[in-house]
Copies of this chain bind each other. A is one copy, B any other.
Amino acid sequence: MTGEFNLINKYFVDRQSQRKDVLLAAGDDCALVEMPENVSIAISTDTLVAGTHFLADAPAAWVAHKALASNLSDLAAMGATPAWVSLALTMPEPDESWLKPFCDAFFELADYFGVQLIGGDTTKGPLSITLTVQGFVPKERALRRNGAKIGDWVYVTGELGDSKAGLDVVLDSQCQSKPYADELLHRHFHATPRVLVGQAMLPYASSAIDISDGLISDVQHILKASQVGVSLDVDALPLSKELIQFVDDKRMAQQYALTSGEEYELCFTVPEEHKGVVDTATAHCGVQVTCIGQIRPQEQFELHASGELLDWPISGYDHFKET
């Protein structure tokens, strides 16, 4: 066992990369940072709790990746460039066999996106992780949820539904023998925040959100904020071959794609006049983008497949559900 301060130094302070805008990252009462001119700061906070967001025996590296990726995904959804992160880590004991892989994975992802850990807190208690990430976005240019207009096209990044299938594998041991169980489990914990897509779409998208609660639920946040409706083509939903084989039914895979939370893909809307540039603008981002529908007048919320209107009872994920 080591003291709190030694623990912080060993795993967090000593291995910091240094951004030039970070004047002070640890070792004082606060971190001190400086800002470029003509930007706003985008700030997001997310908590992962053992037993709620991951099983207590989940590999520490997976938990670290998921915690940071989900936060970076919020920055991506605003089109922001990640800069700094604060980490509040609560754990029952200072378990170094857990901390080392946690930190290795955390810093691997942070370094990839040029994000510096600027401080936080280490406390004793039930395992949980709260991150506050901050990034820059050009003034008055952030991708908001409230800019979608009737006629805009609806896009998503990547493939949807895999995270829910991975969660099946976590929660139901019988699913471990299904096809691609390992790959989907990995996908559940190893989402890639779509930071590049968010930045690339800054000049073109009219609204954006990241898919954390499930496509259906998150799209509704855009609809509500923009006071519009939507028509989605279920047959257009991007599905992985792994998911289709795992659930062994294309319609079921589509339902997974519509409701799967913690995907950390982006959903964004693009006006007709920019539809032609989407593929080119995102070509360098290493992920496909797919048009899945169109914005409609308010109160209209339609799912289509094979030209027919679907009537699927679906809702998003909510920690404290209506009862």
Show the binding face of A for B, using Cβ within 8 Å: 1-5, 7, 23-24, 27-35, 37, 40-53, 73-75, 77-78, 80, 84, 86-88, 90, 93-94, 118-126, 128, 130, 132, 135, 137, 139, 142, 144-146, 208-210, 225, 318-323
Q: Are A123 and B1 in contact (CB under 8 A)?
A: no
Instruction: Please pick, from B27, B43, B46, B132, the residue contacting A45 in the complex, using a CB distance under 8 A.
Output: B132
Is B32 within 8 A of A142, CB to CB? yes
- Determine the chain B residues whose CB is within 8 A of the CB of A46 once the complex forms: 88, 121
Chain B residue nearest to A208 (CB atoms) is B29
Bound Cα distance from A1 to B320, whole angstroms: 8
Checking B28, B30, B34, B45 against A121 with a beta-carbon cut-off of 8 angstroms, the contacting residue is B45
Residue of B nearest to A321 (CB): B3
Q: How many copies of this chain sit in the oligomeric assembly?
A: 2
A75 to B29, CA, bound (A): 7
Cα separation A284 to B90 with both chains bound (whole Å): 39
Known: A123-B49, A125-B126, A320-B7. A33 touches B41 (CB 8 A): yes
| Residue in B35, B51, B322 whose beta carbon sits within 8 Å of that of A3 in the complex | B322
Contact yes or no, A47 B320, CB < 8 A: no
Docked complex Cα distance between A75 and B119 (Å)? 13
> Could you list some 15 contacts between A and B, CB below 8 A?
A7-B320, A29-B73, A29-B209, A29-B210, A30-B77, A30-B80, A30-B135, A31-B43, A33-B41, A33-B43, A45-B87, A45-B88, A45-B130, A47-B88, A51-B125
Given A30-B80, A90-B49, A225-B27: A43 and B2 interface contact (C-beta under 8 Å): no
The CA-CA distance from A84 to B24 in the complex, in Å, is 19
Q: Find chain B residues with CB under 8 A from A87 CB.
A: 45
